[in-house]
Amino acid sequence: MAPIVSVADLFMALMLSRPGGLSLRNSWVTPASLWLSALSTLVALLLAGELIHRSGVPSWLGAVALVILAVGSAAVVAVGVAQRRSPRR
């Protein structure tokens, strides 16, 4: 789980959304962040698929950027789901 948390922490930092600079290892993924990340993952992957269908370097570069966004969002979702499934501390 540690590599996923690292990706999620990096993503949250890049999105300027780290709670007090804390790692998601020690802080809770809020329900709003969980749903926003899940929706962002889905939309980014759908848009990336559409861009891949088109031709040209700009479309492919956009698709790569969207896949990177989807990976970061999916990492936040994975951490949030894992937090909810683990016993409360």
Spatial distance between the Cα atoms of 87 and 79, rounded to a whole number of angstroms: 14
pLDDT over threshold 60, residue 89: no
Residues 6+ away with beta carbon under 8 Å from 83: 28, 29
pTM of the model: 0.88
pLDDT over threshold 90, residue 76: yes
Query: What is the span of the domain harbouring residue 10?
Result: 2-85
Any idea how long the chain is? Answer: 89
Give the chain's domain count: 1
Determine contact, residues 38/77, Cβ cutoff 8 Å: yes
pLDDT tens, position by position, 1-60:
789 999 999 898 888 887 677 888 888 888 999 999 999 999 999 999 999 888 788 888
Spatial distance between the Cα atoms of 44 and 67, rounded to a whole number of angstroms: 7
Structure tokens at 14: 């890049």
Q: pLDDT at position 50, please?
A: 92
